[in-house]
Amino acid sequence: MPTETLLQLDNATVRRPDGVVLKNINWALNAGEHWAITGPTGSGKSSLLDTLSGRLPVLSGHFHHPAGPLRDTVERVANDYRFDRRVASAAQFYQQRFNADTAEESPTVWEVLQNQVRPVGTHDLNSVPLPPPAYPENWLAEVAGQVNISHLLERKLTSLSNGETRRTLLARSLLRRPRILLLDNPFVGLDVDSRQRLHQVLNTVAAEGISLVLATSVQEIPACITQVLTLQDGTIAGSAPKAAQVQLPNQSPDHDALTNPELLRQWHTTTPAAFTHAVQMQGVSVQYNEQTVLDNINWTVRRGDKWAVLGPNGSGKSTLLSLITADNPQGYRNHYSLFDRKRGTGESIWDIKQKIGFVSPEVHLYFPRDLTVWKAVASGLFDTAGLFRKLTHEQTEQTHFVLNLLKLEDLRDKRFAQLSTGQQRWVLLARALVKNPPLLILDEPCQGLDPEHTIQFRNLIDKLCQSSDRTLLYVSHYAEDIPRCVTRVLRLTAGKGVVDWLHG
């Protein structure tokens, strides 16, 4: 019996507005196959998924989809909320997650999944009629249970953790019963248990007859995958059954391949910090309605300390960091100091942020897509989601220095939206470093980076943190990603914190 072909690319070349991203691609997805797409950052993985979903047209060659129209058969799992302008508008500022009053305007998970979202600011509910719920409640309940979000259905969208958001977006796609499911780095941002759960979900989905195509790292290839495609510079570098030997990346790459070694040597330490303690917390608690998110946290971070902040999804890590970055208004209800100054004694949010370089999954999720790379990096000087002022000569030099340090100069005029997911993360890392701040807060900074970039960044942080004045708070769900300079750890579980040494 002949094999049924679902999707096929014949000598296909694909371009974005700024140039060709895939060249001479010959590939087919047959019924019963499940593909993992691997390759370094910027190799074309996201572009291939965009092509298969119909978002990017084939410039030359042919794209066949004999299984039927793409809109009826192919579903790409969203990475953010841009699939619906009403949802995106309701969740456009990540700080809303920590502002209970503003967050009340956000839709619930159930409303998003059932297409029951009204425009932000709707006061008369009868003025905006809604269609019937999109799915039967028993089907929604089944899918919600499958991806472990049953307990989230009545939660506000902006209250979700990164892992909870990703599971919600997966549920949204599974509800549509697609024949082919496309996923772009689905495991990033998930803790160990959540990753294991997602592996089980994908294995179950595959067993039920949905064909999977997912961009992922070689370390996170689900058991259901049958074939592995490797991309390099927009071309196919290899294609083989998963059972074939999969070569893991060299764990000792050229340490200077992704950074400029001369500029790295020039990187100056911060001006000696004028504080003794970056953070001092005494009995800090945060509660939303009846839910306690942080429970009596006592924690001191001295100048020059290098900390890992660890814990599963939903354990309170992002809320803890939001107190330090001054994004959480409940900071005024608690007793804690930042940079030796009690919170709420006259300092502005910008005074605090000026001392902090920050990157997080939420910053990535809500970051403006139309900014050019150099403006995105320069915006880190002012901690704004955009560049709204003219740079001084010194600020321009700072921006160019970091662009060159991380070898981003060739991308400087591209729009953020034109970059691959991994390249976007690298740009946001540069944005966090541009001020050369005394405190670096890096929340899952390597999400979306290939293993070589991850190793590069870990080594870069070790070098930048050689200074006894540099303070580091590093969040990761992967122990191997934590820089070697980290010596202390705060472990959060259900909002409670335990302090320990990471080494020795």
Q: What is the pLDDT of residues 65-115, one digit of tens each?
A: 999 999 999 999 998 777 777 777 766 544 445 655 455 667 899 999 999
For the beta carbon of residue 138, count every other beta carbon within 10 angstroms.
8
Judge whether residue 295 has pLDDT over 60.
yes
Judge whether residue 251 has pLDDT over 60.
no
The token pair that represents 408 in the structure block: 């981003």
What is the model's pLDDT at position 96? 47
What is the model's pLDDT at position 73? 95
Helix (H) or strand (E) holding 366: helix 361-366
| Dist. CA 273–CA 339, nearest whole Å | 9
19, 141: one domain: yes
Q: Which has the minimum average pLDDT: 127-141, 174-188, 240-254, 361-375?
A: 240-254
What is the model's pLDDT at position 364? 83
Judge whether residue 167 has pLDDT over 80.
yes
| 67 falls within a domain | yes
- Taking residues 394-406, what's their average pLDDT? 92
What is the model's pLDDT at position 258? 64
| 257 falls within a domain | no
What is the model's pLDDT at position 249? 46
| Dist. CA 295–CA 282, nearest whole Å | 11
- Taking residues 31-52, what's their average pLDDT? 93
What is the model's pLDDT at position 503? 61
- Boundary-marking domain end, from 241, 268, 284: 241
| Dist. CA 186–CA 148, nearest whole Å | 15
| 38 falls within a domain | yes
Cβ pair 263, 52 in contact under 8 A:
no
Judge whether residue 228 has pLDDT over 70.
yes
More confident of the two residues 160 and 225: 225
- Taking residues 157-161, what's their average pLDDT? 76
| 460 falls within a domain | yes
What is the model's pLDDT at position 44? 92
- Boundary-marking domain end, from 189, 209, 241: 241
CB-count burial class (<10 Å; 0-12, 13-18, 19+) for 503: exposed
| Dist. CA 310–CA 296, nearest whole Å | 17
Residue 62, CA distances (Å) to 11, 158, 467 in order? 7, 41, 55
Q: Which has the minimum average pLDDT: 111-120, 238-247, 293-302, 361-370?
A: 238-247
Cβ pair 461, 453 in contact under 8 A:
no
Most distant pair of Cα atoms in the chain: their distance:
76
Q: Which has the minimum average pLDDT: 93-102, 177-186, 239-248?
A: 93-102
What is the model's pLDDT at position 157? 82
91, 183: one domain: yes
Question: Could you read off the pLDDT of 349-366 as tens digits, one per residue?
Answer: 888 999 999 998 878 877
Backbone torsions φ then ψ of 353, nearest 5 degrees: -65, -25
224, 317: one domain: no
For the beta carbon of residue 462, count every other beta carbon within 10 angstroms.
15
Q: What is the mean pLDDT of the chain?
A: 86
306, 236: one domain: no
- Give the full edge-to-edge strand order of the sheet including 277-288: 291-302, 277-288, 336-338, 341-342
- Give the full edge-to-edge strand order of the sheet including 19-30: 19-30, 5-16, 58-64
Judge whether residue 315 has pLDDT over 80.
yes
CATH number reported for the structural domain that contains residue 383 in this entry: 3.40.50.300
Query: Under DSSP, is residue 364 helix (H, G, I), strand (E, B) or coil?
Result: helix
What is the count of structural domains for the chain? 2
- Taking residues 282-295, what's their average pLDDT? 87
- Boundary-marking domain end, from 241, 270, 288: 241
Question: Could you read off the pLDDT of 182-221 as tens digits, one per residue?
Answer: 999 888 777 888 888 889 889 988 998 999 999 998 888 9
Q: What one-character-per-residue DSSP string does 305-330 give?
A: -EEEEE--TTSSHHHHHHHHTT--GG
| 116 falls within a domain | yes
What is the model's pLDDT at position 465? 85
16, 144: one domain: yes
171, 313: one domain: no
| 26 falls within a domain | yes
78, 226: one domain: yes
Burial 218-252, CB ≥16 within 10 A → b, else e: bebbbebbbbbbbbeebebeeeeebeeeeeebeee
| 281 falls within a domain | no
Range of the domain at 459: 301-332+348-501
Judge whether residue 248 has pLDDT over 50.
no
| 174 falls within a domain | yes
Judge whether residue 373 has pLDDT over 80.
yes
In terms of Cα–Cα distance, which of 483, 63, 104, 489 is closest to 301? Answer: 489
43, 118: one domain: yes
Backbone torsions φ then ψ of 112, nearest 5 degrees: -65, -45
